Amino acid sequence: MQPMDVATSNDPAGYVWLSRFLPTVIIVNTFANFFTLFISIGAYGPARRFWNEFELFISLAWLFFLIALTLSIIAQMIVTYQRQHVLDAFSRGRDGFRKWRDGGMGNKTFVERMAVGFVVKVPLAMVIAFLMLLGFMFCSLCVVSHSLAVGWIGFTWTIIMMVLAIVSWALMEHS
């Protein structure tokens, strides 16, 4: 017998992907939060450039990682505790949430409708990924205060990843 929140090969692809995505995001964001705290306590010594901006950038990085971590944990709890409802909504195809809400699985409470809508209807993975990328972007700007070249390379790479994430999301929405 498998644990209740483990996806099987018979589950809808969206559910399987989300159930594997969320734990990974939780781990990455946890370490990213520690990383921002590590930088903020001056592990690299005082910033040589942009000292006033450094404090703002490290605070924003921490905030974005924290929001992404919070959304991931909430979504993971919903996927775990509302598993049958989430599976049913994902299995109903492109308009799965609307079809799930309007029929099947008996009466749904307001909390169940809100929880499943949060996981299935909202482009949650895109929001979480974008928040994480914003956190890494601001961490890169903090690195600029210590090493210009490395920081700007990290910043540029993060911007490229943001563009790729937006393009891939747009392609998925129109396919």
| Structure confidence by residue, pLDDT tens digits, 91-133 | 776 666 676 667 655 677 777 777 777 777 777 888 888 998 9
| Structure confidence by residue, pLDDT tens digits, 60-82 | 988 998 898 899 888 888 888 88
Between CA 152 and CA 159, with CA 155 as vertex, the angle to 5 degrees is: 140
Residue 92 inside a domain? The answer is yes
Exposed e or buried b for every residue in 3-19, given b needs 16+ CB within 10 A? eeeebeeebbebbbebb
pTM (two decimals): 0.74
Number of domains within the chain: 1
| Structure confidence by residue, pLDDT tens digits, 146-164 | 778 888 998 999 999 889 8
Residue 60 inside a domain? The answer is yes
Alpha-carbon distance of 48 to 30, in angstroms, equals: 27
Alpha-carbon distance of 21 to 27, in angstroms, equals: 10
Range of the domain at 31: 13-173
